[in-house]
Amino acid sequence: MENNESGSVERDKYYLSRRTVMEMLKDRGFSVPTSDVNFSLDDFRRIYGESPNIDLLRFSVTHLHDPSKRSLLLQLVGSRLFGVLVFKILVIFCGPDMVNLTSVRSLADQINNEDKLTGLILILENQMTDKARKSLDLLQLKLEIFQITDLLVNVTKHALKPKYQFLSDQEKQDLLKKYSIEEEQLPRMLKQDVMARYYGLEKGQVVKISHGDSDVKYRCVW
C-alpha cells in the first residue's frame, strides 16, 4: 500500500472497512452484488480518490428472505396489491470527528423519514460522547455501532474459524425438545461477542457451531 501518498492510510482504512461491511451484510443474507464485495483498492481509489468523502461512502442494502428481518411494503402490480417483504439497512461512516449530540440529532433528521429503513450501522473513527449515546433513541430503528479499526479484517476469514449455522424458531424448539431442556439451560454466547456482532444476532437466537462433522455445539445468544 502506498502509505507515502497523501491520504493513503485513511483511504486504505475506508477501503478495508467498507469491504468487510459488504462481506458481513452478504453473509447475513442481504442483497450485496459480488462486484461490490470484490471491489479492488484500485477501483476504490479511482472512484473515491486518495481522501474519500465519507458522505459518498454510505450505502444501503435490502434483505428479501429472512422472516425476522422484514417490514411490509405494498407494491402496486397491475391492478393487484402484493405484499413484498423488505428489510433495508443503511451504513454510514462517521468520519474522524467525535460523534456528539448535535451529530445524532442531525442524523436522526436525515434518516427517520427515509422510506422503509429499518436498520442502521454507524462506523466510528473517534469516540461518541455520553450525551450522544443517551440520545440514540432518536434513531427509531435497530442500531449497530462498530469502530472502524474492528472492521479492517474480516473475523470470519481465519482458517481455523468454525462453521456457524443459525437455527430457525422451529429448529430451536426441536433442539430443546430433543434434549429436554429449557432455553436458559443452553450454553451462552454474549450478544457482544465478536461473531454475534458480525452476524447481527439477537437475544434468544441459537447458533450451531461446527468444527468438522464430529465436533458440534450449540450456543444461545444473551
Per-residue pLDDT of 99-116, as tens digits, reads: 999 999 999 998 877 777
pLDDT top residue among 189 and 157: 189
Is pLDDT at 71 greater than 50 in this prediction?
Answer: no
Q: 160 — phi, psi (to 5°)? A: -95, 0
DSSP state of 53: -
Residues 144-166 have a mean pLDDT of 91
Look at residue 67 and tell me whether its pLDDT is greater than 60: no
Residue 125 has pLDDT above 60, yes or no: yes
Q: What is the pLDDT of the chain when averaged over all its residues?
A: 86
Q: What domains are defined for the chain? A: 8-156 (3.40.1340.10), 163-221 (3.90.940.20)
Which stretches of the chain are DSSP H helices?
8-27, 34-37, 41-48, 54-57, 101-111, 130-134, 169-179, 194-199
- The SS3 assignment for 26 reads helix
pTM of the model: 0.84
- Cα 20 to Cα 13: distance, rounded to the nearest angstrom: 11
Sign of CA dihedral 53, 129, 155, 31: negative
C-alpha torsion 124→129→132→137, nearest 10: 80
C-alpha cell of 159? 482458517
